[in-house]
Structure 1
Amino acid sequence: MLSPQSQLLERNIELFQEGKWLLVNPADAYFTDQLTDYPLDILHQYYDVYSESVRVNSAHTFDSRDVASDPDGFCLNQQIGEHRHTFAPFADSKKSYTDVLIYLPKAKAHLAMLLQMAASVLSPNGRVHLVGENKGGIKSADKLTSQYGSTEKIDSARHCSLLTTHIEQEVEFSAASWLDTNTFSIGDNELQVVSMPGVFSHNQLDEGTELLLQKLPSSLRSKVLDFACGGGVIGSYLKQQYPHFDVTLLDVSALALYCTARTLAANQLTGTLIGANGLHGVEGRFDHIITNPPFHTGIKTDYSITKRFISDAKRVLVKSGALYMVANRFLPYPGLLAEHFSQVRTLAQTSRFSVYLALAK
């Protein structure tokens, strides 16, 4: 099913008849099916839409040392007819386009980064197009696009708008300039955390994550999965505390994996990284899954991600495995956990967060 943003683009399909196009973060895997006759590059910073677009059912594993050693990030590429789909944190700086289309992200700082990246890969007199839901902030996006050139509204429908900015200057982009490194104290320990716009809890230590780490027992076993790792706080903390642990860090976001690799490296640590759509396609078994899972898709509250994760978690846990999860107190997770796990306990609770322990049946 086409997202509302893609339905608006479908009304303006003639835009794609000319020029060399890059699409950034399409909200669904289906709009490009309307453009099979047109050559396109598609940058996916999110593995779920990438895997659906290229019909890949497996997750993908990376070595954190390989990701950290590449200053431009890492990528997976798949050619489907005239379309080249790439899962990566950034666009290929060696390529040039006449037009770049960005699906509006949730965070303004993420949009600012994407706009600079997009403008940097344009040929002279190129254009950046922005499509997004009206309530998602696109009405105020011209405050960011105006620094690059004049912006006009092309169309609006389905509670979405399509804007075009004519880039009037040459723009350079450096991923390193968007990275931030912070040192956080967790208990008696300090951890350097690398983050950037578009990554969960950018420039902050999330209160829920901190509570979860404080309440973990000292009796953990050695094979651990940090699900929805963000900037790698949980997995890096565990690897720092228990160097002999086999720690795997998983996220749907290429930006998150990019930052996680650098968080590990900043603390002289290594780990296995996985790009995946939830736990779909994840092989192997773990003693523990430790997570602060997302409950938003874009600007919308969305329990489906964590619901699917909870139902899949038992499959990747060993028989006596345990799931440790922190979540906002208002989320209905105790009942969901009880549907799939034999024992569910609340280890800690504040006015905002609850930490749960779920033991496999």
Structure 2
Amino acid sequence: MNARLSLALAATAVTLPEGHILLLRPPADLVLEGLPLDRCVAVQGFRPDHDALAARGVAMPDAPEGPFAAVVVFAARAKALTLDLIAQACGAVAPGAPVIVDGSKGDGIDSVLKHCKASFDVEGVFAKAHGKVFSFTADTPPAAWLAASKTVDGFVTRPGVFSADGIDPGSALLARHLGDLSGKVCDLGAGWGFLAKAALAAGKVTECTLVEAERDALECARVNITDSRARFHWADATRFEGGPFDVVISNPPFHVARKADPDIGRAFLEAAARLLSPRGRFLMVANRHLPYEATLDEVFGQTVALTEQGGYKIIEAQKPRKVPVRATAPKRRRP
């Protein structure tokens, strides 16, 4: 469990004033001890973490209204996203209110702290549990910290989403195998829509369902894909219920924070098998070294490697075997 903020509050290294508190991108495993939950609201765009926090009693309104007495920012893997959250925090509090930042070394908190010291009057820094918590009085942030959408390779992306700087090479390789699709298609972990748009270019596709856990990425996909056959779902792909589909496509994630964990990809494979019609097929791309073959053999009656190129492999699987949704979703955090 992520106890760093709780420990900082207990040590009075940081304090929360009276009034409503905004939590920006808190992790699912946040220790809630010391937080006045009756006065806290949270914004979390990653659906698995959003749902886990809501189940623990954290208020998660769609559009929380400020100003707030204080904001707690939880660092993301992407520094550009963290700086954007801090800039948002400065605009969400009353003048003179505190902004608290909590992050791990793995999420680059030392670099974020350096940036904040250059722009704000940072108070004492609390170091614990491989990370830091610090606070400062809100002021006008550098204009460059506010993250803006950008167009790359003809697609709109945002800082912090997967492959924000251009088309992922693995996805580009998979797209070359989507020309003969037909019927109802589902893109699991659709990101900002590159694969779904490639699927919709096949004239016999009647519908394409995009399932994406990161809300910012899905909003980019809505801009990138204006085809009336597209359906958009902000959801955890490993627990999504829908279909049946004629084809499922995916470039599944395989990280917990910065650590590789193939178990996440395996959960995507199981979800694909559940969502397919009996005669449906699954097309996926993965890094060549990832050990997905055993899981594919468990949940599909037939698999074939279509190609291996540039460190990636394209696999087609058919004859899905239905497997139940995992009792516990695989742990992951993106971005």
Please, what TM-score do these two structures have when normalized by structure 1? 0.80
Where do 1:2-41 residues align within 5 Å? 2-5=1-4, 8-9=7-8, 11-12=10-11, 15-16=15-16, 18-28=18-28, 31-32=31-32, 35=35, 38-41=38-41
- Number of equivalent positions: 319
3-state SS in 1 of match to 2:198: helix
Letter in structure 2 aligned against 1:181: T
Where do 1:346-361 residues align within 5 Å? 346-359=305-318, 360-361=320-321
Paired residues of 1:120 and 1:171 also in contact (CA < 8 A): no
Aligned to 1:224: 185
Letter in structure 2 aligned against 1:42: A
Distance 1:132 1:281, change over 3 A: same
Aligned to 2:47: 47
- Name the % identity: 24
Distance 1:37 1:116, change over 3 A: closer
Paired residues of 1:119 and 1:171 also in contact (CA < 8 A): no
- The whole-number CA distance in structure 2 between the counterparts of 1:243 and 1:147 is 56
Where do 1:1-361 residues align within 5 Å? 2-5=1-4, 8-9=7-8, 11-12=10-11, 15-16=15-16, 18-28=18-28, 31-32=31-32, 35=35, 38-55=38-55, 80=57, 83-86=58-61, 92=64, 94-146=65-117, 148-169=119-140, 178-182=148-152, 184=153, 192-218=154-180, 220-242=181-203, 244-265=205-226, 271-359=230-318, 360-361=320-321
Paired residues of 1:325 and 1:357 also in contact (CA < 8 A): yes
3-state SS in 1 of match to 2:217: helix
Query: Which one has a larger percent strand, Structure 1 or Structure 2?
Result: 1
Q: List runs of 5+ in structure 1 lacking aligned partners.
A: 57-79, 185-191
Distance 1:317 1:293, change over 3 A: same
Paired residues of 2:77 and 2:106 also in contact (CA < 8 A): no
Considering Cα pairs closer than 8 Å and 6+ residues apart, tell me whether 1 or 2 has the greater RCO: 1
3-state SS in 2 of match to 1:310: helix
Q: List runs of 5+ in structure 2 lacking aligned partners.
A: 322-335
Distance 1:349 1:242, change over 3 A: same
Aligned to 1:71: none
Paired residues of 1:5 and 1:27 also in contact (CA < 8 A): no
3-state SS in 1 of match to 2:285: strand
Paired residues of 1:148 and 1:166 also in contact (CA < 8 A): no
3-state SS in 2 of match to 1:223: strand
4+ residue segments displaced more than 6 Å:
170-175
Alpha carbon RMSD of aligned pairs, Å?
A: 2.7
- The whole-number CA distance in structure 1 between the counterparts of 2:98 and 2:204 is 49
Distance 1:226 1:147, change over 3 A: farther
Please, what TM-score do these two structures have when normalized by structure 2? 0.85
How far has the Cα of 1:232 moved from its partner?
0.8
Query: How big is each residue's C-alpha offset from its partner over 1:105-141, in whole Å with a ceiling of 9 and x where there is no partner?
Result: 1111111221222212121112222111123311111
Paired residues of 1:132 and 1:162 also in contact (CA < 8 A): yes
